[in-house]
Structure 1
């Protein structure tokens, strides 16, 4: 059944991916109308999230952010499909890093690097970084797709741009293996996911709301002495992104516990407050806010 679904859908995805960008974004506009006005995909979730974190904003402003977000989300979904066939030169032109020399400087220390990012702007095209003759191999930590055919497609797409995907299920084990065997890497991690309550060991204020947070990046960096940066991605215009590597730490073992997690959240919040329409508001990031905090949990202040 998984194979039937994949081969029914894949030709459509491939056709969309080869469309010229002018037509490509017209398709995105049509999908926006379908998703926003007709299907109403998760509109209640988006509205509730926006009202929750921006109680000071009038309803007209919430509505404006909501519509701009859905337009951006459709663009981002289509851009993910575009990765099937986009050329290296086109990807490098559309996703530019302004201080890539900083990543090369960190690589010269011969310590692996954790690149932390959130569900903001474009996290699908960040593999463009690896197209610039970097020393370390690129690894992306991702949640395995249930349909194994689509999962393999995601791996092939990353493989086109010299990257390797590692499942969240064995990421810690794989990273430790690499370090023990002298394999240095640039590890991209989307770090604003919402952990399940049985793994809610650390809680932090995110956009003014106390929620559980993953601190795996923090723990790994301190234990394995890895450099850590934040990938600050801005959407300059439709289909064009500009990224900057923001230092978090170059001496993780000497940093206070949870410093990395706290700094990451601060940097992500700054971007969200500046241009909230580019955050993934369909993500149920605050779903555990009313849950009782476990007695053995740690509050990060």
Structure 2
């Protein structure tokens, strides 16, 4: 069954990747109407997330952000598929890294590094950085149940020389690489929603008390790997700029949760400037300690 689903789906995915830009974004506008206005895909989750994050905004202001978000959401999904047909030259035109010299310095110092980012703007295209730096690049991810689609994702994300590490095996692989003194870049989307264990780390995110993912910090401190934040901004439709901000060069010397707190604050700043570019379909506040929102929802 998994193979059948993949065989049926693949021609459509390939066809989308071959569309010229005007047709790709025209299709994105059509998909927007379908998933937002007709189907209402995860609309209740998005509305709740936005209302929790921006309690000071009116319902009409929330809806305005919501509409902009769904337009962007459709764009980045189709842009991910478009990666299949991009040359490296074309990708470098569309995703630029103005201060890549910060990462080059780590290589000169014989250091690996960790990139922390949120699900903001074109986080998928961040993987194209691998073709522009001397480090061997890895992105931590959760494997897909359908093994054929999992291979497909590996192929798309690996086109520009970035490799995927299953989050279930990441620690042992990183330990091996660091023991062998390999110079690696590790990318982690660190705004995931972990389990609500009382022993976990809880703090505010967008004003809401939630459990916070600390995996990147724990890896960084265990192996003393420098950490940077990636600030991805949208220049215009289909064009992005990613700037790196140093969080810690020597994580082993930092206080507990300092790296996680700094990342969270930088991500919040990013979101508040342009909230429509954050991935609000994730149920980020499913374990939140928050009052009833029925009046606004």
Which whole-Å CA distance do the structure 2 matches of 1:172 and 1:284 have between them?
Answer: 26
Offset of residue 136 of structure 1: 0.8
Offset of residue 199 of structure 1: 8.4
RMSD of the TM alignment (CA)?
A: 1.2
Offset of residue 214 of structure 1: 1.4
- Are 1:69 and 2:69 matched, yes or no? yes
Which whole-Å CA distance do the structure 2 matches of 1:218 and 1:271 have between them?
Answer: 20
Which whole-Å CA distance do the structure 2 matches of 1:249 and 1:195 have between them?
Answer: 23
Aligned to 1:19: 19
Residues 18 and 82, structure 2, Cα contact 8 Å, conserved in 1: yes
Which whole-Å CA distance do the structure 2 matches of 1:198 and 1:61 have between them?
Answer: 34
| Residues 91-110 of structure 1 mapped to structure 2, 5 A cutoff | 91-110=91-110
Which whole-Å CA distance do the structure 2 matches of 1:49 and 1:26 have between them?
Answer: 28
Residues 213-248 of structure 1, C-alpha deviations (whole Å, 9 max, x = no match): 111111111120101000100011100101100110
Consecutive unaligned residues in structure 2, runs of 5 or more: 291-297
Q: TM-score, normalised by structure 2?
A: 0.95
- Are 1:179 and 2:178 matched, yes or no? yes
Aligned to 1:138: 137
Aligned to 2:231, what secondary structure does the other structure show?
strand
Which whole-Å CA distance do the structure 2 matches of 1:140 and 1:265 have between them?
Answer: 19
| Residues 148-163 of structure 1 mapped to structure 2, 5 A cutoff | 148-163=147-162
Residues 114 and 225, structure 2, Cα contact 8 Å, conserved in 1: yes
Offset of residue 198 of structure 1: 4.5
Offset of residue 84 of structure 1: 1.7
Residues 114 and 226, structure 1, Cα contact 8 Å, conserved in 2: yes
Which whole-Å CA distance do the structure 1 matches of 2:45 and 2:154 have between them?
Answer: 30
Offset of residue 131 of structure 1: 2.1
Distance change in 2, residues 1:167/1:200 (3 Å) = farther
Residues 233 and 241, structure 1, Cα contact 8 Å, conserved in 2: yes
Consecutive unaligned residues in structure 1, runs of 5 or more: 292-301
Count of aligned positions: 290
Aligned to 2:52: 52
Which whole-Å CA distance do the structure 2 matches of 1:54 and 1:158 have between them?
Answer: 33
Aligned to 1:233: 232
Q: Could you tell which deviates more after superposition, 96-105 or 151-160?
A: 151-160
- Are 1:6 and 2:3 matched, yes or no? no
Offset of residue 55 of structure 1: 0.7
Residues 149-194 of structure 1, C-alpha deviations (whole Å, 9 max, x = no match): 0100111122221111001111111111111112221001000000
Aligned to 2:115, what secondary structure does the other structure show?
strand
Residues 92 and 131, structure 1, Cα contact 8 Å, conserved in 2: no
Which whole-Å CA distance do the structure 1 matches of 2:95 and 2:104 have between them?
Answer: 18
Offset of residue 60 of structure 1: 1.5
Aligned to 2:228, what secondary structure does the other structure show?
strand
Offset of residue 200 of structure 1: 6.0
Residues 200 and 212, structure 1, Cα contact 8 Å, conserved in 2: no
Which whole-Å CA distance do the structure 2 matches of 1:212 and 1:35 have between them?
Answer: 30
